[in-house]
Amino acid sequence: MIKVIDTRGKERFVNAAYIRSVTPKGANRSQIDYGGMGGSIKIDRPAEEVAEVVNAALPSSFDEYLAATDVQNQTNQTAQTATMIAVIG
């Protein structure tokens, strides 16, 4: 997750893996378009700077990303199973 502050001063955390594009909107402003939610965020940072932060937040390979996603899914499934057992038990 990366922290960004939009042009209205609102703090947001965005999953770097869902960012589809970073578009320059002037010298010191850019727009982050992200998938899954179909939205965008305008921020007061140059697009090159934002792209560097996004790239640094992503795993070095897609295989690492898939492995991390699998671990998270297993963790979520375990928690969900424990909750169902607690409710039933």
Give the start-to-end residue ranges of the domains of the chain. Answer: 1-58, 60-89
Confidence of residue 69 (pLDDT cuts 50, 70, 90): confident
What is the mean predicted confidence (pLDDT) over 65-73? 76
What is the mean predicted confidence (pLDDT) over 52-68? 79
Tell the CATH topology of 1-58. OB fold (Dihydrolipoamide Acetyltransferase, E2P) (2.40.50)
pLDDT on residue 67: 76
What is the mean predicted confidence (pLDDT) over 3-21? 92
Residue-wise pLDDT for 27-56, tens only, equals 899 999 987 656 899 999 999 999 999 988
Give the end-to-end CA distance of the chain in Å, rounded to a whole number.
36
For residue 43, the surrounding DSSP H or E stretch is strand 39-43
C-alpha to C-alpha distance for 54 and 78, rounded to whole angstroms = 30
